[in-house]
Amino acid sequence: MKIPRATPGNKTVLLTGACSGIGLEMARLLAARGYQLIVVSHREEPLHQAARDLRCRFGAAVFPIVMDLAHSKAAEELFERVGSLQLTVDILINNAGMFFFGEVADTDPTAANRMLALHVTTPSLLATLFSKGMRSRGKGHILFVSSISAWRDFPGIAYYGSTKKYLRGFANALRSELAPYGVNVTCLAPGATATGLYDPNVVPVDLAKKLGVMMPAESVAQAGLEALFNNEAECLPGVLTRAMTAAAVAMPQPVIDWIRRRGPWLKSG
């Protein structure tokens, strides 16, 4: 299925984490098909630059909102800001996120709080606030960007994997709640994707992309949007992603523990 063009009753998209990576590629794909975009990020200049590019390249109506989605009242404030634009959100894409690697005992509490807010609190409350209108109108789409780490727990990504697992479970439950009202909920669960989420000094992103270990962000964005408009429950984009997920699920816990004790990534004890 291809991404459909916007229609008068299905044209306004609220997209978080929209100025880079998967979010920016989704914005480009949607703008090219006539959707108007409310794009959100805490990075002011990259967000405004992305908005200018989308307007210039596609002639799209773009409304940038600079906001830190990791603070406690972010969802409510964003809902009010969107209301002030007098726009009806037809499609909500919860894409904003962050990543860090390391043991829980060594984690900076500030970073942990930000991740919990970005991956759990804010997307949940945005879904609560915007799904009410979708339900009353009898139509709408909500997309959550999770990860293949939602299928298996690994040391070193306890915060990241657990929050992504929450998103997957929340999306599936919300899908069952909203389906009778004509509202679709989809969970996109990519594997390693070549985005700015990774420190290029630590992870060789360009090399991983060339070797096929990491998917291009544009391919993930295309697959996720096609799954959304096809009303699919979950999307694991790419053959390698699905194979890696199956392998992770099948891997015995003693093997994971053996790798953890002997690998160079975490403290050996």
Active site residue 198: no
Active-site residue among 35, 160, 165, 166?
160
What pLDDT digit, counting tens, does each position of 128-146 carry? 999 999 999 999 999 999 9
Q: Classify 241 as helix, strand or coil.
A: helix
- State which amino acid sits at residue 2: K
Q: What are phi and psi of 34, to 5 degrees?
A: 90, 10
Active site residue 11: no
What pLDDT digit, counting tens, does each position of 176-198 carry? 999 999 999 999 999 877 666 65
Domains with residue ranges and CATH for the chain: 12-244 (3.40.50.720)
As given in the structure block, the two tokens for residue 169 are: 């479970």
Q: Classify 12 as helix, strand or coil.
A: strand
pTM summary value: 0.91
What is the residue-averaged pLDDT of the chain? 92
Q: Classify 144 as helix, strand or coil.
A: strand
Active-site residue among 11, 35, 164, 166?
164
What pLDDT digit, counting tens, does each position of 89-105 carry? 999 999 999 999 999 99
Query: By mean pLDDT, which of 66-80, 147-161, 183-197, 226-240 is the weakest?
Result: 183-197
Chain position carrying tokens 């480009």 = 28
Q: For the chain, where are the alpha helices, taking DSSP H only? A: 21-32, 44-58, 74-84, 109-116, 122-137, 158-178, 205-211, 217-229, 239-250, 253-262
Q: Looking at residues 230-248, what average pLDDT do you find?
A: 90
- Burial code (b: 16+ CB inside 10 Å, e: under 16) for 128-155 equals ebbbeebbeeeebbbbbbbbbbbbbeeb
